[in-house]
Amino acid sequence: MAGPPVSTTDHGTGPGPVPARAGIGLRHPHVQQFLDAPPATGWVEVHSENYMAAGGLRLSALERIRRDLPVSCHGVGLSLGSAEGLDDAHLAALARLFERIEPGLVSEHVSWSVSGGVYYNDLLPLPLTEEALGVFCRNVDRAQEAFGRRILVENPSTYLDFAASRIPEPEFIAEIARRTGCGLLLDANNIHVSAHNRGFDAGAYLAALPLAAVGEIHIAGHARRSIGGETVLIDDHGSRVVAPVWRLLDAALARTGPVPVLVEWDTDIPALEVLLAEAAQAEAAIRRAAAPPATARTRSAAHAA
């Protein structure tokens, strides 16, 4: 039987490429457990903005954890979709953080959060227009130049459309990757949530994404809320991954081959063991994707760059 192209050690090997294995988000309630003994996870992801401090315990904890595990920095505040452009100070602060942490992956969202210099702390939807595409690509170019590296951008979870939208969303994202050379952080839960809320076919959406550019996959749970007499799926990252999202993960991995998969859990954070159990399931999905074709085995190296 062919061995999987993934590491068989319990944990990763410190700073460097994020392996094509399952990872979990590093969340405050679990930090002490990470410091006591690195848990069996291939890598961790952090929200970049939570570590943009001059010093302190949180940052020093991450600096210790990164000696044992590769780190991915996932941003929530750069606002790549803002027409007013990117904030110089924020770009510089992120660049300093990346210099310090040396993340294996850096990612952001296909959305906006800043207008008039105010940060709204939500991932707001973009109208899918030529103008927005131009704005987004200019901002990605600028970020990649400031960081001196390629970034990944994540497909959004959405509740709304815009009357002005002209470009199908997967095409919009594919065009971003094509014009800027950035990669795609494929969020399987976001596809499921948006497909339900906006009434499109998740499988067709997935197939239309630029899957060759996928550098990481996110999976997460969501909430079901009754709004105006109908069920709306809310992307709250507060529960276990549901079956249709696991199926989307399999479908994505079948096309991309093994890539890093992150279990995101940001609200109602459970015991570390629960996260690790979800990650073990993701790890099994990565191994299944790795098993049949021998050609898939080199993909982890290609995507780690």
Per CB under 8 A, which region of 109-117, 178-186, 213-221, 269-277 contacts another protein? 109-117
Does 141 engage in binding with another protein (CB under 8 A)? no
Does 52 engage in binding with another protein (CB under 8 A)? yes
Per CB under 8 A, which region of 169-177, 228-236, 239-247, 280-288 contacts another protein? 228-236
CB-count exposure of residue 217 (10 Å: 0-12, 13-18, 19+): buried
- Find out whether 220 and 241 touch, Cβ atoms under 8 Å: yes
Which residues in 236-295 contact another protein (CB under 8 A)?
none
Give the whole-angstrom CA distance, residue 305 versus residue 297: 15
Nearer to another protein, 16 or 168 (CB): 168
Does 31 engage in binding with another protein (CB under 8 A)? no
Q: Which helix (H) or strand (E) holds 122?
A: strand 118-124
Q: Which of 120, 178, 130, 128 is nearest to 153 (CA)?
A: 178
- Contacting another protein (CB under 8 A), which of 1, 8, 9, 117? 117
Does 77 engage in binding with another protein (CB under 8 A)? yes
Distance of CA 194 to the CA centre of its chain: 16
Tell me which amino acid residue 161 is: D
Q: Which CB contacts under 8 angstroms, 24+ apart, belong to 99-102?
A: 100/63, 101/15, 101/51, 101/62, 101/63, 101/66, 101/71, 101/73, 102/15, 102/16, 102/66, 102/71
Minimum CB separation from another protein for residue 159, in Å? 4
Does 53 engage in binding with another protein (CB under 8 A)? yes
Does 58 engage in binding with another protein (CB under 8 A)? yes
Q: Which helix (H) or strand (E) holds 244?
A: helix 243-256
Does 114 engage in binding with another protein (CB under 8 A)? yes
List interacting residues with another protein (CB under 8 A): 49-50, 52-58, 60, 76-79, 82-84, 87, 89-90, 93, 112-122, 124, 126-127, 129, 131-132, 135, 159-164, 197-198, 227-228, 230, 232, 234
